[in-house]
Amino acid sequence: MTYTMIERKARISNIQKYNMYDGPGIRTLVFFKGCPLRCVWCSNPEGQKYHHQILFKENLCTQCRMCVDVCPTDTHYLDPVTFEHKVKDTDCTGCGKCVDVCPTNALAVTGEDKSITELLEIIEEDRHFYHTGGGVTLGGGEVLMQPEAAINLLAMCKYSGINTAIETCGYAKREVIVGVAEHTDLFLYDVKHMIPEEHHRVTGVRNELILDNLKWLLDNKHNVKIRIPLIKGVNDSEENLRLLLEFLSPYKDFKNLKGIDLLPYHKMGVHKYNQLGWKYPFDDAQKFTQEELVKVESYLQGHGIDVAVIAH
């Protein structure tokens, strides 16, 4: 098999090495920037918007204003009343001049444009770990927001003999799903809520397109592992779990349905909201007890589907 690479740019928010949560084995996880959803519990808020953004650690700022002086777009500015350093959520070009001059490391740019060749070079650095059954996982944000770059990168990884996976919310046009599926060994597919109105309330979009794409993947024998970001009082009700089981019932004996991962809610990304200058919208969420997690896990397993709790 031959494949002609088309050199594209992908906007990346992070690259995580030695990842053991997002797919089998040891993996390199590439976070694409931009997402069509606005989940109220999102732990990667820096991946929501496609444009470059500044992460600002206000507690480290000495108000030296060096970043204000070098910024070509006035993303950094002084409040006209308090004269404190402020950061706009738009206009940043990602040039990094502010980061270079900051004497206290209070600033970072999120969003870096990398070519497919550059990404492949980073991925190849970890090839010696992939004998574990690992490989590359593309996540986000939402990787399907940049379909051309994603398809090109996945295809080149497959051509190089590297196992491929994507972590996705599934909110994309069918032609994007089809194009990506050709080069993807495993879909880690988020199912956030089964009731369309509730899905819209907590993510900003309805779920019909997401479930239609999931059905297509399962019907067409693509490997899928369901992932449920399990949120107490949001999607852990017996009704929601029952609707999920009803949806999956025709597929529970399909070899390409690789089970369900439960991802209990955590607050690991809350500090990023502060650095972006955003208010965290989900402060009142509660963590699950071990007994509560076991109850959900047992309920799903009791209907003939493999279930695992993935706790970060």
Please indicate if the annotation marks 71 as binding a ligand.
no
Residue 94, annotated as binding a ligand: no
Single out the residue of 165, 122, 156, 208 nearest to residue 20, CA to CA: 165
CA distance linking residue 263 with residue 273, whole number of Å? 21
pLDDT of residue 1: 52
Average pLDDT, the chain: 94
Residue 61 is labelled as binding a ligand:
yes
Confidence of residue 296 (pLDDT cuts 50, 70, 90): very high
141 annotated as ligand-binding: yes
Q: Is 98 annotated as a binding residue?
A: no
Domains of the chain (ranges; CATH) run: 9-49+112-309 (3.20.20.70), 53-109 (3.30.70.20)
Is residue 266 marked as binding? yes
What does DSSP say about strands 76-78 and 112-115: parallel, antiparallel, or unpaired? unpaired
- Residue 77 predicted with pLDDT over 70: yes
pTM of the model: 0.94
pLDDT for 90 equals 83
To the question of whether residue 157 is assigned a binding role by annotation, the answer is no
> Residue 43, annotated ligand binder?
yes
Contacts for 156 with CB less than 8 Å, ≥ 6 apart = 3, 5, 116, 120
Residue found by looking up tokens 């069918």 in the block:
174
List, in sequence order, the alpha helices (H) in the chain.
66-70, 97-101, 116-124, 147-159, 174-181, 196-203, 208-219, 238-248, 270-276, 290-301
In this prediction, residue 267 has a pLDDT band, given cuts at 50, 70 and 90, of confident
pLDDT tens digits for 49-73?
A: 999 999 999 999 999 999 999 999 9
pLDDT per residue over 177-194, tens digit each?
999 999 999 999 999 999
Mean pLDDT of 247-260: 96
Residue 213: pLDDT over 90: yes
Does residue 127 register a pLDDT over 70? yes
- Residue 179 is labelled as binding a ligand: no
CB 133 within 8 A of CB 24: yes
- The average pLDDT across 97-102 equals 97
Q: Where residue 4 falls among pLDDT bands split at 50, 70, 90?
A: low
137 has a pLDDT exceeding 70: yes
Flag whether 102 is marked binding. Answer: yes
